[in-house]
Amino acid sequence: MNPDHWRRYLTGYLPVNVVQAVVGMASLMIYSHLMTPFQFGHYVLALSSQYLGQWLFFGGFLMGTARWVPRANRDGNRSELLATVYGSCLILMVLMIIISGLIEALRVIPREASALIWVTVAYSLVRGFVLIGLEVHRNSLEIGRYSRLEIFQTIVGFVLGTLFVIRSDGQPEAAILGLLLGNLLIAMMELPWLRRAFRWRDFSKKMLLRLWRYGAPMLIVSILFAGLTTVDGFLMARLLGPEAVAHYGAAVSLADRPLMMVFVWVGVTSSSVGFNVMENRDAEAAALVMKKAATTLVLLTWPMAVGIVVLAWPLASVLLGSGISDGVARLLPLVALMALLKGFMAHYFAQFFQLTQRPDTLAMILVVTLILNVVFNVLLIPDLGIEGAPISAIVSYGLGIGLSVFFARRHMRVPFVSWPEALKGGMGCLVMFWVIEWMALPPTVGGMALDVISGIVVYFMMMGLMNPGAVRQGMIERCRRKTTCEG
């Protein structure tokens, strides 16, 4: 693959990820102030339940769509693929409503949580429907359309959610309702495209079987990933109560969301380009794409994690409500390391199994990782409190990465950053850490902003001096092409 293509696709997906990260941080700041720790804890649990339910019902078809769209575009049978996917998902939506109704009828959940549950179920249904179209746009490399739709629903959902939370005195279902309406607007905007994209009569049992063969193992994978991401919150709610979930959820939002912005951004690019490259049976070109992804991830996520660690107390005290800021600050270093390992496992190493169509192996690895995570959480949370959850995840994700590398090498070359490049990135992080510590600015908005700006400037100066990944040559060449085009 031409390296210029990688940079173009990477740049194209940047705006939507920046908007999602900014909105995620803004919602954390606002909701942690407008909601009590009890309400915020239920909001975090509702989002975790929505994420788990969404992938439980639609994960297999979403991942199957992502994998088969490039081939359907090449073979000219996209209508058959989309009719089969949307038809199957409509059936699953009805099944999800029936199961939710049975859960309420049997009074498995408290009656006072009924409104929150049903709003969350409705959001899962609409979001699952919207995500199918977004996967089609993304894996058809329709970057502009994908980005515009995601940015729109992110901003609208946040604005409406904030207004509803203010009017409802901090009720968590109000925030979910905003997200639901934002995605409902996207679904309505996509209707004209859907009418042109496929015909219902193109529904194909043969295509359903093909999707099932790939999607069923990937459904297991998606459920395991969702479980791995959310199980600690549910165990903590059981062992320590919703207030502990509020602290942990806030720490995850502060450390995990900024890092996941980069991991998702790079992972979306590498998977979209990688799937299209693998359709030409060019495994070496796909490995080159993954090598570029690994270098980009290391050079961007390492300094972000170090910055979160060194600025833990200013971040918590400036951005969060006083009721949870102290506890969150103590958690941030552990959660930052946890997010780093989770990101590399989910958005880098797992992609090798998707590219080589080995979801069964990936599922086996995730089962082991999930079991370890549950066992460690049960053992450590009662003794260590909230800190037991990120420690359990760090150990589990570390072992999961080791297993992923071991098994992925059987099917495809697994490149990573070379030791000299990693050393340059680590040295830049270390110098940045020293400078911020030496400045010792007060934990205020101005002090934190100056810390962040100083850290970014110092890190990029170090990268310019040490030139990891030939970044200087890439910038010079890009400026040269831009000058030539303008001339």
Q: How many CB atoms lie within 10 A of CB 143?
A: 21
Are the CB atoms for 39 and 170 separated by under 8 Å?
A: yes
Question: Do the domain assignments include residue 429?
Answer: no
Number of neighbours of residue 160 by Cβ within 10 angstroms: 19
Residue 136, phi then psi, degrees to nearest 5 = -65, -50
Distance, in Å, from the CA atom of 349 to the CA atom of 353, rounded to the nearest integer, reads 8
pLDDT for position 5 = 61
Residue numbers of the chain with a pLDDT score lower than 70: 1-7, 107-113, 279-282, 321-324, 468-487
CA distance 322 to 337: 24
Report the C-alpha gap between 138 and 201 in whole angstroms.
Answer: 25
Tokens of 450: 């100056």
Question: How many Å apart are CA 133 and CA 183, to the nearest integer?
Answer: 12
Question: For residues 354 and 338, what is the distance between their CA atoms, to the nearest angstrom?
Answer: 23
Q: How many CB atoms lie within 10 A of CB 204?
A: 17
Nearest 10 degrees: Cα torsion 339, 341, 343, 348: 170
* Residues 289 and 276 sit within 8 Å (Cβ to Cβ): no
The residue range of the domain holding 366 is 3-417
Q: Is residue 469 part of a domain?
A: no
Would you say 375 and 317 are in contact if contact means Cβ atoms under 8 Å apart?
no
483 lies in some domain: no
pLDDT value for 103:
74
pLDDT tens across 179-232, in order? 999 999 999 999 999 888 888 888 888 888 888 777 777 777 777 877 777 777
Distances (CA, A) of 117 to 47, 173, 344: 10, 8, 32
In a domain, 464, yes or no: no
Look at residue 3 in the predicted model and tell me its pLDDT. 42
Question: So what's the pLDDT on residue 166?
Answer: 92
Question: Are the C-beta atoms of residues 34 and 201 closer than 8 Å to each other?
Answer: no
- Residue 427 resides in a domain: no
pLDDT score at 158 = 93
Cβ–Cβ under 8 Å, residues 1 and 288: yes
Measured between its terminal Cα atoms, the distance across the chain in Å is 28
Neighbour-count burial of 297, counting CB atoms closer than 10 A to its CB (0-12 exposed, 13-18 middle, 19+ buried): buried
> In Å, how far are 33, 35, 40, 340, 398 from 324, measured between CA atoms?
10, 11, 11, 23, 29
In a domain, 11, yes or no: yes
Tokens found for residue 345: 């496992």
| Measured CA distances, 252 to 28, 258, 307, 476 (Å) | 10, 10, 15, 38
Q: Write down the pTM of the prediction.
A: 0.71
User: Looking at the domain assignment, is residue 367 inside a domain?
Assistant: yes
Q: Is residue 333 part of a domain?
A: yes
How many structural domains compose the chain? 1
